[in-house]
Amino acid sequence: MRNYLRQYWLMLLAAAGVSLIFHWRIFHLDLLGQHVWRQTQTQLNIRNFSEGSLNILNPRINQIDLGTTVHRMEFPLMQWCIAIVDRIFGYSIFITRLMMFLIGILAMAGAGFFAKNIFSHKYAPAIFIWAFTFSPLFYYYTLNPLPDVAALGLTLWGCGFFFSWWKTEIKRHLVFTGILFALGALLKLPFIIYFILIPLAVFFRRNRGTKYISGSLARGMTWIIFPLAWYSWVIPQWTNNPVVSGILDADNKQVQGLLNYLWGNFSSTLPEILINYAAVPLFLAGCWFIGKNKLFREKTFVLVCTLSLLILAYFIFELNLIAVNHDYYLFPFLPMIFLIVTYGATQLLKVKPGNYFVIFCLWACPFAAYLRMDNRWDIQKPGFNKELLFQAENLKKIIPENDSIITIGDQSANIWFYYLDRKGWSYNEPLNVDYIGDRIRDGAKIIITDSKSAGDTILAHAKQLNASGIMKIGSFQVISVK
């Protein structure tokens, strides 16, 4: 046990240290890169909690929709906790990135705890921690504000306690499992799938009697009521959200596209983004050894396999939305993937040439993750009009702090509001001048656009819209209206 703890802490510190070195330049970098729209939405939640109301039931963004900036999606526990730290030390993007890194370390620790309770091999927790840390998907989001990272970490700890209960039947570990699974699902709905482990495990032990079954289900499943209650309340507020309908919205013309998405995720996203090219040989070895050693005869394998199939069903259901670029939807796959990677590595360690091969693959993982993901933080390709990154401060100087604005050209409805630190309405071309006029009557004082045609349209209707002045900063036009 002492030897296991020593290896566990040494590998956790080593993985965190190497990750820190590779991420060092990112800590003071503002939000940019792939899925920056989702990052800015999360960061707007944090900033509004930090600078406004701390009512956790009312997370806010800066877009006004139906007369309010309250925008409920996942339960905003992570954003709320980071905002508390901001209130203590002062708001900054550095605080968010530092907190996300610490949340990532907790997820890495949970990964090791999970591996310790499902594998008997003494090196399994260390291998799992290292390989998981340098999954390119986890590597990229380790410093980016997304609740998926916290949800994944909570779920990994829940899995650790579940398999501890599965082996030892310590009742409180099943309670911890239910609480952690519930928190993970609150932070990100797809992780609710992991609750299937509890009734399935109870089913395997159904011969223990009614009292055992009811008691186990009560200890583990009672907590699911919290994510169910939250999402029962907020999902009806998700108007026109494709997440709810998933693949059911696909028509016949989209079937070929869905097949292309499926192949793209299997042939590229899986080895390149989820696993890491350096760890792919260990993953393939794990698949081979699962068949060779006939693990499918074991109940633990049936538990993991059933869970994996349900996660795959979720993936298929959301495939038209995930496509080949919404990689953060794939976080629920990571625990299952790195079980296979770790199993392959531990089996290869049993043969003399294999141990050198495993060491080489693991050694290469951080370099492969860095080379694949570091260019996502390229300030010359930030994922939006790069002039905003450099002109945001100048734009804020000419937009009064309390003035509501209309943005024309921000498809995300979050990025511009984040960088300008203003509230208002988001609109895209083709313009509806009457709609713009209605928003002006609602209180908009400034129109900002990076589209010359949109600016020309506004000025062509200057009298109708009471446009009183225009300033140009780079490619942006800032139009004052009365």
pLDDT in tens, 124-143: 999 999 999 999 999 999 99
Q: Which two tokens stand for residue 332?
A: 């629920």
Residues contacting residue 435 through CB under 8 Å, at least 6 positions apart? 427
Q: What pLDDT shows up at residue 249?
A: 66
- Are 451 and 409 a contacting pair, CB within 8 Å? yes
Least confident range of 141-150, 158-167, 290-299, 426-435: 426-435
pLDDT tier at 104, thresholds 50, 70, 90: very high
Residue from 343, 479, 471, 338 nearest 408 by CA: 479
Residue from 309, 323, 307, 312 nearest 263 by CA: 323
What average pLDDT does range 211-216 have in this prediction?
93
pLDDT at 259 over 70: yes
Q: What pLDDT shows up at residue 8?
A: 84
> Hey, which of 103-107, 204-208, 443-447 has the most confident mean pLDDT?
103-107
Q: What pLDDT shows up at residue 432?
A: 83
What average pLDDT does range 266-272 have in this prediction?
94
Angle at 231 between CA 227 and CA 233, to 5 degrees: 120
pLDDT tier at 254, thresholds 50, 70, 90: low
Residues contacting residue 252 through CB under 8 Å, at least 6 positions apart? none
- Are 281 and 358 a contacting pair, CB within 8 Å? no
Least confident range of 20-24, 149-153, 194-198, 209-213: 209-213
Instruction: Indicate the average pLDDT of the chain.
Output: 92
Residue in the structure block whose two tokens are 């294999």: 354
pLDDT at 122 over 90: no
Q: What pLDDT shows up at residue 253?
A: 57
pLDDT at 312 over 80: yes
pLDDT tier at 324, thresholds 50, 70, 90: confident
Q: Which two tokens stand for residue 218?
A: 């009560």
Q: Which two tokens stand for residue 408?
A: 């024309």
> Has this prediction a pTM greater than 0.85?
yes
Q: What pLDDT shows up at residue 130?
A: 97
- Are 414 and 63 a contacting pair, CB within 8 Å? yes
SS (H, E, C) 329-377: HHHHHHHHHHHHHHHHHHHHCCCHHHHHHHHHHHHHHHHHHHHHHHHHH
pLDDT at 345 over 80: yes
Cα separation values, 285 from 43, 135, 282, 317, 375, Å: 40, 17, 5, 29, 30
What average pLDDT does range 362-379 have in this prediction?
96
Cα separation values, 95 from 6, 50, 105, 465, Å: 30, 12, 15, 41
pLDDT tier at 250, thresholds 50, 70, 90: low
